[in-house]
């Protein structure tokens, strides 16, 4: 009897607990709103308590995006959220459909392409409702180094700092975000490239914002890049794996390695990051016709392999290697069959020593340097048509400065104006040092 009463009591308690933890009707709420502006897009993220149930529509004159969240109660003062975005003026509530939902209005500065989707929790974030606003006026701001090499174009290297904004990439044990490390290395690499006559960098992202993966290749393609280098840091569930690796990106399922890689969901989801739109867009990534693929693939792939091999040679001098040979990967998400594309995993952020190193300025600089040296060497050896590198190779004219030589002396000897030599070598002054190797234009 006593036992039975106790039993009944505990049953009642369980029922009561179940009742109290059952969601009341308007149980969801917005915990915070984050705005990630980039030059052409803005991502607005609503951090939700539970998976959002939503519908949305757009209005014009003035442009607005209206989102109805059902089973959700008001929590934040939306008008207090500051927006630096070129597309988003601000947020506010409007009259909801019913008393169990809220209506959020995004006031836009201009009509924008909108995508709204929910994201499941991935560390460090919980449930999210994501709004991607894309500028309809595609005046992409790409910083262009003034080409001072006359008729000869620069070798263009598109540099893609992995992840960004809402998508932190992998997170190290000490709390480092991959997105910050990749951006730092990317900037260092760009700086080296832009200091080099005959080369120019294009940064796919230059700040802490997310760029859609299809968009990344599009930017590379639009800037007529000769090579796309994507910078990442690896991660694994255990702290042991370490070392850098270089991946050749292709759309073709070229070998068995690739098959295995595709099964490595760990890695795959890491690269997909928080980008649900990528999954949505994977089909559209295959818009390229087989003909185009076949035409450009062989050249692209062989270039990618060769550059990767060069990079591994130099990375080996500054860091441990995870894999000694280029790895093949078919990332529908980051490939551009017409542009040689490679992905450099600069080390394992999940390995405590490497995480520490990746946070060290000097180490990142030496990683960037070794990538640069390898890429420069490759393109000097195999220069694309029409580039300064191609001309210099054809003329085979470089000059190592010896004691007593000056610019004017060399100008006379090669019958080229001093100004041309200075322009081609990016020289600010007339001073040259002994041992310096100068390119001598026609």
Residues in contact with Zn ion by CB under 5 A are 162, 169, 232
- Residues composing the chain: 442
Check: CB of residue 274 under 8 Å from CB of residue 166: yes
Report in angstroms how near the CB of residue 266 gets to Zn ion at its nearest.
11
Residues 146 and 153: their CA atoms lie apart, in Å, by 11
Distance CA 127, CA 52 (A): 8
Q: Which is nearer to Zn ion, 232 or 322 (CB)?
A: 232
CB 43 within 8 Å of CB 209: yes
Minimum distance of Zn ion from residue 236's CB (angstroms) = 12
State the nearest-atom distance from the C-beta of 203 to Zn ion, in Å. 17
User: Which of residues 169 and 212 has its CB atom nearest to Zn ion in the complex?
Assistant: 169
Q: Is the Cβ of residue 26 or residue 342 nearer to Zn ion in the bound state? A: 342
> Which lies closer to Zn ion via its Cβ, residue 232 or residue 363?
232
Nearer to Zn ion, 91 or 331 (CB): 331
Residue 209 CA, distance from chain mean position: 9
Shortest spacing between CB 279 and Zn ion, in angstroms: 16
Residue 345 buriedness (CB in 10 A; 0-12 / 13-18 / 19+): buried
The DSSP output letter for 374 is H
Least gap, CB of 169 to Zn ion (angstroms): 4
- DSSP 8-state symbol, 82: -
Shortest spacing between CB 245 and Zn ion, in angstroms: 12
Minimum distance from CB of 230 to Zn ion (Å)?
8
**Minimum CB distance to Zn ion smaller for 162 or for 337:** 162
* Sign of torsion over alpha carbons 320, 323, 326, 327: negative
Least Cβ distance, residue 424 to Zn ion (angstroms): 37
Q: Quote the tokens at residue 86.
A: 């070129």
Closest chain position to Zn ion (CB): 232
Smallest gap, in angstroms, from Cβ of residue 337 to Zn ion? Answer: 21
Nearest CA to 185 among 308, 361, 30? 361
Q: Exposure of 179 by Cβ count < 10 A (0-12 exposed, 13-18 middle, 19+ buried)?
A: buried
**Beta carbons of 334 and 273 less than 8 angstroms apart:** no
Q: Is 35 exposed, middle or buried (0-12, 13-18, 19+ CB in 10 A)?
A: buried
* Contact (Cβ atoms closer than 8 angstroms) between residue 261 and residue 267: yes
| Separation between Cα atoms, residue 359 and residue 357, nearest integer Å | 5
Handedness of CA 296, 297, 300, 303 (dihedral sign): negative
CB-nearer residue toward Zn ion: 160 or 338: 160
| Nearer to Zn ion among residue 85 and residue 230 (C-beta) | 230
Q: Between 165 and 169, whose beta carbon lies closer to Zn ion?
A: 169
- Whole-angstrom Cα distance, residue 332 to residue 213? 9
């Amino acid at each position: 009897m006593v036992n039975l009463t106790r039993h009944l009591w505990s049953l009642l308690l369980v029922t009561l607990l179940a009742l109290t933890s059952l969601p009341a009707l308007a149980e969801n709420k917005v915990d915070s709103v984050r705005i990630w502006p980039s030059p052409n897009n803005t991502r607005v993220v609503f951090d939700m308590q539970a998976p959002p149930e939503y519908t949305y529509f757009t209005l014009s004159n003035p442009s607005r995006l209206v989102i109805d969240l059902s089973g959700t109660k008001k929590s934040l003062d939306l008008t207090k959220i500051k927006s630096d975005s070129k597309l988003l003026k601000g947020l506010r509530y409007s009259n909801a459909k019913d008393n169990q939902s809220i209506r959020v209005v995004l006031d836009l500065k201009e009509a924008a392409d909108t995508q709204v989707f929910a994201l499941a929790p991935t560390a460090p974030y919980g449930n999210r409702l994501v709004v991607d606003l894309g500028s309809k006026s595609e005046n992409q701001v790409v910083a262009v180094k003034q080409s001072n090499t006359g008729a000869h174009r620069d070798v263009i290297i598109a540099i893609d700092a992995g992840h960004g904004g809402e998508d932190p990439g992998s997170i190290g044990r000490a709390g480092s975000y991959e997105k910050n490390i990749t951006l730092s290395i990317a900037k260092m690499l760009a700086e080296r490239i832009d200091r080099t006559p005959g080369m120019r960098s294009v940064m796919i992202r230059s700040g802490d914002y997310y760029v859609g993966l299809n968009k990344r290749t599009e930017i590379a393609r639009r800037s007529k890049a000769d090579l796309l280098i994507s910078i990442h840091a690896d991660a694994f569930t255990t702290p042991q794996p370490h070392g850098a690796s270089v991946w050749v990106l292709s759309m073709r399922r070229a070998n068995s390695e690739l098959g295995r890689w595709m099964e490595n969901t760990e890695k795959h989801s890491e690269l997909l990051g928080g980008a649900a739109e990528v999954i949505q867009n994977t089909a559209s990534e295959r818009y390229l016709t087989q003909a185009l693929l076949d035409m450009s693939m062989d050249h692209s792939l062989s270039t990618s392999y060769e550059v990767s091999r060069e990079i591994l040679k130099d990375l080996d001098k500054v860091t441990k290697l995870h894999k000694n040979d280029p790895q093949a990967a078919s990332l529908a998400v980051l490939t551009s069959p017409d542009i040689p594309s490679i992905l450099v995993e600069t080390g394992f952020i999940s390995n405590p020593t490497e995480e520490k190193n990746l946070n060290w300025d000097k180490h990142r600089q030496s990683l960037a340097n070794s990538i640069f040296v390898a890429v420069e060497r490759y393109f000097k050896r195999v220069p694309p048509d029409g580039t300064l590198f191609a001309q210099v190779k054809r003329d085979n004219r470089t000059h190592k400065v010896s004691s007593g030589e000056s610019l004017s002396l060399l100008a006379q000897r090669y019958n080229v104006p001093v100004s041309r030599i200075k322009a081609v070598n990016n020289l600010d002054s007339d001073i040259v040092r002994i041992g310096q190797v100068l390119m001598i234009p026609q």
